[in-house]
Amino acid sequence: RDAELPARRYLRLVLNNATDESEVSVVQSLLRQASAAAVVFGDPRHRDTARGEFARAAEAALRTVEPASDYQLAWARAFVGAAREPDAVAVVRALLDGTSSIEGLAVDTDLRWHMVVALASAGLADDALIDAEAQRDPTDEGLRHATTARAARPTEAAKAAAWAAIVDDHSLPLATMEATMAGFQQPDQEALLAPYAARFFDALAAMWQQRVPEVALSFAEAMYPVCVPSDDVVAMTDRHLGSADVAPPIHRLLLEGKDQVERVLRTRARDAADS
């Protein structure tokens, strides 16, 4: 994250050593960081290769670590999140529809939704799949997961519908809004999300003036265009920070978002230099 080590080198370091770690919380943290190295912090030109490497290593680990352990679940979630290549996607689909299993791995409701959202983000989950899972889990939490999955799909229509719900529907419960925002922001959908960077800054003032602070702050934090890391986003942030009417809590969140974007730009440059 600090550009001290190229992202792809960090990824391989984790994959070569994480199975030797004895603390599951450390493994979970390492896998989150490795996923970010592959998808967010690395040179986007090598994203598919890095993510594929991560997925293959994660699948191998989940099949060899102690069955039914928290370690296996950690590797399973990492694998599902990185599954994009056809063979990996086929494994996820087979686990989801029950035509295949892995010793010890319980495909419970939480893991099922993790699979559905991951497939949706990859453009591999249609309405029928999402609706079927929502019928299987007709709880409030299940409906929110379905909302996240729909917003995660890599289409202009999905992003437009999610944006309209977030910004224009003042009756939307905060929990549903947050589920929508979680799906909207996907780090490998930069081209789709790029037009919303300027719209985010245009919407901020009205959010603060027309919504309760909790909603406005959630929007400012979750919808800052960190998934569109660019000098333009940094410049837009600086211009907004320079205006006199930015509320202090919003100001702080914008600074944090800008710091994230600048960090991504640095790490990507470092990774590209290592090519």
pLDDT band at 267 (very low <50, low <70, confident <90, very high): very high
pLDDT band at 3 (very low <50, low <70, confident <90, very high): low
Question: Per mean pLDDT, which range of 2-16, 40-54, 61-75, 99-113 is the poorest?
Answer: 2-16
Token pair listed for 22: 């004895």
pLDDT of residue 5: 84
The tokens 């960190």 sit on which residue? 226
Token pair listed for 230: 């660019």
pLDDT of residue 2: 56
In a domain, 201, yes or no: yes
Structural domain containing residue 243: 185-274
In a domain, 161, yes or no: no
Which of 6, 95, 1 lies closest to 274, judged by CA?
Answer: 6
In a domain, 269, yes or no: yes
In a domain, 247, yes or no: yes
The tokens 């600074």 sit on which residue? 255
Is the pLDDT score of 244 beyond 80? no
In a domain, 40, yes or no: no
Phi, psi at 232, each rounded to 5°: -65, -40
In a domain, 238, yes or no: yes
Average pLDDT of the segment spanning 177-197: 98
Tally of domains within the chain: 1
The per-residue pLDDT for range 115-130, each reduced to its tens digit, is 999 999 999 999 999 9
User: 196 with 156: CB under 8 angstroms?
Assistant: no
pLDDT band at 112 (very low <50, low <70, confident <90, very high): very high
In a domain, 261, yes or no: yes
pLDDT of residue 243: 82
Average pLDDT of the segment spanning 76-91: 98
Alpha helices in 69-108 (DSSP H): 70-82, 86-97
In a domain, 191, yes or no: yes
